[in-house]
Structure 1
């Protein structure tokens, strides 16, 4: 698919190389990586027309999502800081918990399938939730994103991303996969991804419409990493399942890098025509939803760089930066994992981008239009400095009803599911509740 915003593509190396302040080889890419060894055939087809959500003629909704009413049904409770969900076509559900556990839920039973030894040991849940002490209970690191191989169960491989401690003061992230048929043996796909004990690890995994593995990485709070396309921090990676770079990647210094200039992206999903969409945490609010273009620079830290930086003016000052579809300005969403929902179980949310909110403690619903949005209420994002190919309208749902929503995902049954992250110590007064954390099904009443 050709980039939508090609006049702003920026495939050259960073011009301001002298400004990079990254010591040693922290996060340095390995050039053209070797494929990982596996007893399984990890190769996949790349035909987008076989994607079950492919619809190049899709139409955006013309009504407000708030015209319907919604509720929830609890599927699983008493999770420990839930982070990611992955559904198999068989109905199995895989759930990652930041404390260092991946579990499989099937036929009403929940069993652990992987508990990596190297996951940072401070990523544990709150023992005394009434103290609401985040620092006593961990951070944003730990066991994070997961994704099943597209040919599961014939290829019984589950990918995962976790934070580990390299030395007394150094933390890294690791992309691995587990052989679910042979003792859940771990194979490292990429090691030494920039990481941080407390913040900005990115870590969302997803297989896209053409069966490439997409990986989001945070900036690990290291200035200079996001703007260096030869390092893996502050990026969106696109990989073959064996860890190598697809031939049609944009050809940046590290060939696995698809886009750069990111701060802390935590969702990656696709419009029905295959266009990739990412959510990203901003500084002092200014969260973003972004349309990805191959090789695109998304600006961090040249724009949205701090409390004295006016994002509304700084994007036009950087014409080589791809502007966002949504920038929340002074309103904080803290957007997390999400999905462009195409199912029919919740018709009021169909053909909309749905993502969780942490500090906002809500579900964020974003309707995306390739022309002037209809009058459906909500907050409009149609300023001239925003992404030119689309406009957007947002609506909040479930505000302060479910707590910190970490991820939203579509199941093979066409339903919409969310997982909460209330036991990480950062929820407001009424959370966590006794049965947190939970996997919930969203229903339309």
Structure 2
């Protein structure tokens, strides 16, 4: 299998840790990996960002207020679809979000009520989560929704035809729990639907290719395995693209179609990874589950290391966007990551060598060296918990707060929470 390149591997102390981990998860040959072909060039065709993202001159303004735990946001053909974890799918006029600077928008069209999603429930982090839009929208006027169902407590992806008012199940039987439900969905550059699933609080599931838990799925818009998905072997679910994830909630694509994933770690140790088809990203052995916590993937050749591991610092990363707009040139070709517990928006610069000054550089020898990642912080503590960041058609960034989910501290929620905050050129 085509493995990521590595810097010189750390040897000190790694053998003992690997032996312990091997007892938990079997030898590297027994851990699920598969052959697969990437959909992105071996050498990136886009120009890495130069300078600092702090060179951008931007202003932030509230575009929508008084929401109930917004979770995801997607734009298409003048429409903006937004989910609230507490139930509904809403539709806004994208131009109103863009231009509503005097009085924040407080009304929207309810496209689907929570009660209209069959068996919908909302325990803990479950509920109405991800939304994605058909690539040919508005012909057909179809959206996809990821939500938690009470039927044996599972997560489900449905396809909703807005004009026909018809719901069709696309992916069902995704393990669910009060925590670790994943939930982000998006249509990738090749027109397939990508689905992020959590381990549902059972870490070993992420190492089981027969389970949909703790994985990244890639399916057709009808829910069938994407034609060139990797093969994880007999009994494996053919919808899997990668395995070994804990609770991924952010996926974006570089300008040449390479998928980048952000996921929650155990008590910090959050990660951002470049996804390779058929690879295993190590949970629940690397980073640990119950005390076995790696700082190095060096002696675990079955596992693919991340670009970013935050160590003892907590990002609690959720939604992401890879900025390709022209409105803020200093942000072009950078990955933006919304932080929940950290209450921070991170601008991650991916470079082939080095990176901009003034940020936190992730350059340890054991990390995946496809890129060197450097993170700069924005809006730390200003808006509370940030659930998602989405690039709009106008080139602005739209941030969703999550201050009414019962997990915020300090001075939040504010009277106008939850909100959509627009960040635009000043």
CA distance in 2, matches of 1:244, 1:68: 42
Output aligned runs, 1:202-241, within 5 Å: 202-241=182-221
Which residue of structure 2 lines up, in the alignment, with residue 44 of structure 1? none
Q: How many residues align?
A: 385
DSSP-derived class of the 1:423 partner:
coil
Greater mean deviation of Cα atoms: 411-420 or 381-390? 411-420
Shift of residue 56, structure 1, vs aligned partner: 5.4
Shift of residue 61, structure 1, vs aligned partner: 1.8
Distance 1:224 1:393, change over 3 A: same
DSSP-derived class of the 1:71 partner:
strand
Whether the 8 Å contact between 2:90 and 2:109 is mirrored in structure 1 is yes
DSSP-derived class of the 2:203 partner:
coil
Are 2:126 and 1:145 aligned? no
Which residue of structure 2 lines up, in the alignment, with residue 324 of structure 1? 306
Output aligned runs, 1:403-442, within 5 Å: 403-442=384-423
Shift of residue 139, structure 1, vs aligned partner: 1.9
CA distance in 1, matches of 2:5, 2:218: 19
Which residue of structure 2 lines up, in the alignment, with residue 400 of structure 1? 381
DSSP-derived class of the 1:83 partner:
strand
Are 2:86 and 1:92 aligned? no
Are 2:262 and 1:279 aligned? yes
Deviations 1:154-189 (A, max 9, x none): 01111010012234xxx2101111110022x21111
Shift of residue 152, structure 1, vs aligned partner: 0.7
Which residue of structure 2 lines up, in the alignment, with residue 293 of structure 1? 276
Deviations 1:296-317 (A, max 9, x none): 000001111146334213x112
Distance 1:119 1:280, change over 3 A: farther
TM-score (structure 2 length as normaliser): 0.85
Which residue of structure 2 lines up, in the alignment, with residue 114 of structure 1? 112
Shift of residue 70, structure 1, vs aligned partner: 3.4
Q: Give the aligned CA root-mean-square deviation in angstroms.
A: 2.6
DSSP-derived class of the 2:54 partner:
helix
List alignment gaps of at least 5 residues for structure 2: 7-21, 27-38, 97-106
Which residue of structure 2 lines up, in the alignment, with residue 34 of structure 1? none
Deviations 1:364-399 (A, max 9, x none): 11100122324x221111111000221110011000
Whether the 8 Å contact between 1:4 and 1:389 is mirrored in structure 2 is no
Distance 1:166 1:444, change over 3 A: same
Whether the 8 Å contact between 2:242 and 2:276 is mirrored in structure 1 is yes
Distance 1:200 1:119, change over 3 A: farther
1:334 to 300, 308, 316: 316
Which residue of structure 1 lines up, in the alignment, with residue 15 of structure 2? none
DSSP-derived class of the 1:224 partner:
helix
Are 2:321 and 1:373 aligned? no
Whether the 8 Å contact between 1:232 and 1:257 is mirrored in structure 2 is yes
CA distance in 2, matches of 1:335, 1:195: 19
CA distance in 2, matches of 1:18, 1:158: 41
CA distance in 2, matches of 1:6, 1:243: 33
Shift of residue 435, structure 1, vs aligned partner: 1.0
Whether the 8 Å contact between 1:74 and 1:441 is mirrored in structure 2 is yes
Which residue of structure 1 lines up, in the alignment, with residue 150 of structure 2? 165
Distance 1:3 1:319, change over 3 A: closer
Are 2:248 and 1:248 aligned? no
Deviations 1:190-221 (A, max 9, x none): 21110012x10001101111111100000001
Deviations 1:116-146 (A, max 9, x none): 43577774xxxxxxxxxxxxxx621100001
CA distance in 2, matches of 1:257, 1:6: 23
Which residue of structure 1 lines up, in the alignment, with residue 171 of structure 2? 190
DSSP-derived class of the 1:424 partner:
coil
Output aligned runs, 1:66-85, within 5 Å: 66-85=54-73
CA distance in 2, matches of 1:57, 1:177: 33
